[in-house]
Amino acid sequence: MRSVVLFSIWLLAAQAQTPPAPVALVPDSRPPVASNCSADGVVVNSITGEVVPRARVSLLSAGTLTTVLSDSGGRFRMEKTSCGFLQFLARHVGFLEALSPQPKALNLESGEAAHDVRVMLTPQAVVTGVVSDDQGDPVQGAQVAVYGSKVLQGKRAFQQMGQGMSNDLGEYRVSGLAGGKYVVCAHLNQGVPPMEVTSGATTGDKCFPGPLDGGVVSTFELQAGRDIRINLPLPSIPSVHVRGVVTGLPKARGVALALSRRGAVGNAWNRSTPVRPDGRFDIAGVTPGSYLLSTDYWEDNRRYTARIPLEVGGGDIDGITVQLTEGFTIQGVVRVESKDGVVPPRNQFTVSLRSSEPIAGGGRMVWGADGTTFTLSDLTPGSYRLESFSNSAFFIKRATFNGRDISREDVAITQPSGVVELVLSDEGGTVEVQLEDRDGKPAVGWAMLVEEGRTPRTSRSDAKGHVRFPSIAPGNYMIYAWDDMAQVEFANPEWMRRNAEGQKLAVEAGQTARVKLVQKQVAAQ
């Protein structure tokens, strides 16, 4: 997963030669939110339809939260709540916590009531089983992780969704899972030494149905509300050592290295070892597979990192040199192009440096005194792409680093040289979208606006299927409509070729482009 470095741009008058005139504060003319609405309904199991007694039901409306308990028949009632759009959340042991989907948006005006609201609770799925060794004896203290197949940043990957540890009988239990496709993996816990004997064997890892790097074909289907039993026998395999030396050590030392499995977002599992005072290290009991040897160390407010990919086979790996690299700082400048001489409001323009490499990133953003320059410190070497989000009338017209467009391509930033240059403009256009189903009726879903080379902009529609994209840079786009954005693999060209049905759209400065889209149903994988 590409890590994210978020920083908010508080832009001052970048080009003004004289102090700007004072801005008159306009009183908030919006009427106060009424609090004389009410709601009643029932909490039900989304799978069986049975009522759920004694559930905690929360109503969110106009920024206020009201919570009550459902009775023995699953019924609840709320009085004197804030009016406006209503969202319901229910909680109960054995169920997943999530906002309850409503067949239609509930928007109450002063004095109105919502009756017979059905708040859905989805029962959790559970994975249980026994971890054993190659002789069938139970293994105590084994770490069991459950990885779900998810779409992250437009690509399908595995993400850890739950974990557990085997007890003295080798039994484990991982609860709180939603329905979906999973892989279950077991390995010896960090605190349990590898079972290395004189024969040179050690206890290996086990994944069911297959390895993480096998993709979706290695998964099993877990249905919501179901329990499934999966036993995990750990094999006995030749023990492998990973040895080497760390250079560039800071004064206080105390550095530790982590050897992490690859194939999932974040650390799938790892072995770690302290680095000796002379810089040498020896990680024992390593099983074959793809790994990342890494460290992230802070001393005197300075960051030191190292990242080395490793392929481990059936033999020891010796002579690895791990060079610690100190975090570095790059400079940034901002220029504003506005036909009316306006500057972006504070807190309404956000950009991010998104790393293309796992576990990389970092960076602390600090503004210069004049508000037209900034620094990004504690960066680690890697490839980055700049992304942005705005609630104002401004968009990024250009974003370059050493002459390359860092908003459209991954750009290597490996040393403290070069400048991030941002040009902001308010001469954009607007896109208005109407989502419809196959019958031509308004549909509630997602619109996705894509400009070649840049990360898509997405927005969920209102209850009438309407979506609005303000402050769009003039240019040519493709626009799509989806029922479930969480399943859209927009960064996978083959997936898009097979599943996407979009329309071309031209955006002009100062103009509003309007388009109707038929919402595409995305099948979960």
Q: How far is CA 515 from the centre of its chain?
A: 30
- One domain for residues 320 and 333: no
Query: Is there a domain that residue 524 lies in?
Result: no
Mean pLDDT, contiguous 10-residue spans, the chain (525 residues): 35 34 39 87 95 95 90 95 90 89 77 94 96 94 92 87 95 95 85 51 86 83 95 89 89 81 69 86 84 84 85 90 88 85 64 65 68 80 79 84 89 88 90 93 92 88 89 94 93 92 93 94 74
Verify that 132 and 222 share a domain, yes or no: yes
Q: Of the candidates 256, 290, 324, which is a domain's last residue?
A: 324
Distance CA 209, CA 109 (A): 53
Residues 221, 247 share a domain: no
Within-domain flag for 8: no
pLDDT at 452: 84
277: containing domain: 240-324
Q: What is the pLDDT of residue 524?
A: 64
| pLDDT at residue number 104 | 64
* pLDDT number for residue 211: 84
Give the helix ranges, DSSP H, for 386-453.
Answer: none
Q: Same structural domain for residues 136 and 230?
A: yes
Stated length of the chain:
525
Indicate which CATH number applies to the domain containing 462. 2.60.40.10
Question: Is residue 394 a part of any domain in this protein?
Answer: yes
pLDDT at 414: 84
- Reading the block at residue 222, the tokens are 């877990």
Report strand pairing: 106-108 vs 84-91.
antiparallel
Domain finish residue from 356, 391, 425 = 425
- Based on the fold, state whether residues 166 and 265 are members of the same structural domain: no
Answer whether residue 115 is part of any domain.
yes
With H, G, I as helix, E, B as strand and everything else as coil, classify residue 445: coil
Shared domain check, 363 and 263: no
Give the CATH number of the domain where residue 265 resides.
Answer: 2.60.40.1120
Give pTM, 2 decimals.
0.78
- How many independent structural domains does the chain possess? 5
Domain termination residue (choose one: 274, 304, 324)? 324
Task: List phi, psi (to 5°) of 485.
Answer: -65, -25
Q: Given this model, what pLDDT does residue 12 score? A: 33
Residue 373 shares a structural domain with residue 386: yes
pLDDT reported for residue 271: 73
Q: What is the DSSP letter of 265?
A: B
Q: Is residue 459 part of a domain?
A: yes
Helix (H, G, I), strand (E, B) or coil at 189: coil
In a domain, residue 279? The reply is yes
288 shares a domain with 385: no
In a domain, 29, yes or no: no
DSSP codes of every residue in 446-512: EEEEE-TTSPPEEEE--TTSEEEEEEEPSEEEEEEEES-GGG--TT-HHHHHHH---EEEEE-TT-E
Q: Does 203 fall in a domain? A: yes
